[in-house]
């Protein structure tokens, strides 16, 4: 027993707090790993902030090329699409697309691909103007290719082109102007017991008002100031854009009627009926080339657009809706939409 006790006492006594042999090496190793992990996470975080900043502050309207038909890149035909209701955003996208076409010296001609019932008067007119400017400055052929519906503002933009081709099932025409707004008088006064009170200086300042039925004088005022000028401009531009039609021909067609492709061809509102490949061949013929690569401009995704839409529109949606409902919107729009 005494021998065992002596043996135990003879073992060296480890200082308090000293790590077991070999432990300090593992501590150093794991310390290095932890430090590298922290550095890597910080770098990744900074990289994500940088990418977000690029998306958020970079150009909003950057367009990429989608190849529709293969061909030599030295000769290209660009397709610019007008899809859906024509509004300010559509006009801005068209402007950016045609600006891209101006910069590319390899572009030999444009196809404006229209599938739209029309829309805002000013936005339709802006697109029409951009097409005419491109034709005048670039001296290159521009044709309209109609698909589905190319009515009212869709036709308004098309007549700026040198030629118009439509698919066999296309609906076009609807040359005219439409406007409308809501009269809330009965709802507010009769149902809700709300009596609107308007303060104004200038007799016609609130013509028309959504708080009362319009008078004949007010309706005539709107016709003279809004509808007639927009209608006459539509007729004028169709007359200028369609040499085969006389002014009297255009006025007969400008009653808001829609036309199928064959009827539109018979009335000389369009030049040919065909499909995209036929439109491409038409541009090649006008440009005097045999082969070309056909590309369509597509807008790239932008966080700036997403954030702008989600923040601005959400905050202003009530005011925007109230304004649209209570103010006459003068439109080059097929009324079926």
Q: What is the dihedral of CA 128, 83, 123, 267, to 10 degrees?
A: 50
- Residues with pLDDT less than 70, the chain: 1-27, 29, 31, 45-62, 300-327, 336-337
Q: Are strands 293-299 and 258-260 parallel, antiparallel or unpaired?
A: unpaired
- Residue whose pair of structure tokens reads 């959400």 in the numeric block: 314
Position 27 in a domain: no
| Residue at 85 is within a domain | yes
Q: How many domains does the chain have?
A: 1
Do the Cβ atoms of 300 and 80 come closer than 8 Å?
no
DSSP E strands, the chain: 63-69, 76-83, 107-116, 118-120, 142-151, 163-166, 171-173, 258-260, 272-273, 293-299, 331-333
CB-based contact 106:75 (threshold 8 Å): yes
Domain that holds residue 90: 63-176+255-301+318-333
83 located within any domain: yes
Of the residues 91, 100, 152, 209, which is catalytic?
152
Residue 143 lies in a domain: yes
Active site residue 225: no
Q: Which pLDDT value is given to residue 18?
A: 53
> Is residue 171 one of the residues assigned to a domain?
yes
**Does 16 map to a domain?**
no
What pLDDT is attached to residue 198?
A: 83
Single pTM value for the model: 0.77
In a domain, 244, yes or no: no
CATH number at residue 123: 3.90.226.10
Instruction: Give me the catalytic one of 14, 133, 204, 205.
Output: 205
Residue 4 lies in a domain: no
Whether residue 152 lies in the annotated active site: yes
């Amino acid at each position: 027993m005494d021998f065992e006790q002596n043996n135990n006492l003879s073992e060296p006594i480890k200082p308090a707090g000293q790590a077991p042999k070999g432990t300090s090496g593992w501590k150093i190793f794991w310390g290095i790993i932890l430090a590298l992990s922290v550095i890597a996470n910080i770098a990744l975080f900074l990289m994500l902030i940088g990418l977000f900043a690029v998306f958020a502050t970079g150009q909003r309207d950057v367009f990429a090329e989608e190849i529709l038909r293969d061909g030599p890149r030295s000769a290209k035909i660009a397709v610019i699409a007008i899809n859906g209701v024509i509004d300010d955003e559509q006009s801005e996208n068209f402007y950016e697309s045609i600006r891209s076409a101006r910069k590319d010296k390899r572009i030999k001609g444009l196809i404006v691909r229209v599938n739209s019932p029309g829309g805002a008067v000013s936005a339709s007119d802006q697109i029409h103007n951009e097409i005419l400017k491109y034709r005048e400055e670039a001296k290159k052929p521009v044709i309209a290719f109609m698909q589905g519906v190319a009515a009212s503002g869709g036709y308004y933009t098309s007549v700026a082109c040198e030629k118009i081709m439509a698919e066999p099932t296309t609906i076009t025409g609807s040359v005219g102007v439409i406007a409308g707004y809501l009269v809330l008088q009965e709802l507010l006064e009769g149902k809700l017991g709300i009596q609107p009170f308007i303060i104004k200086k200038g007799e016609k300042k609130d013509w028309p008002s959504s708080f009362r039925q319009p008078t004949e004088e007010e309706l005539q005022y709107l016709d003279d100031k809004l509808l007639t000028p927009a209608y006459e401009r539509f007729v004028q531009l169709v007359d200028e854009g369609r040499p085969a039609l006389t002014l009297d021909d255009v006025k007969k067609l400008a009653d808001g009627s829609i036309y199928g492709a064959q009827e539109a061809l018979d009335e000389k509102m369009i030049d040919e009926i065909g499909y995209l490949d036929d439109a491409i061949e038409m541009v090649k013929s006008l440009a005097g080339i045999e082969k070309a690569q056909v590309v369509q401009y597509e807008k790239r995704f932008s966080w700036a657009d997403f954030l702008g839409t989600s923040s601005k529109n959400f905050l202003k949606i009530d005011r925007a809706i109230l304004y649209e409902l209570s103010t006459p919107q003068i439109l080059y729009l097929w009324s079926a939409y």
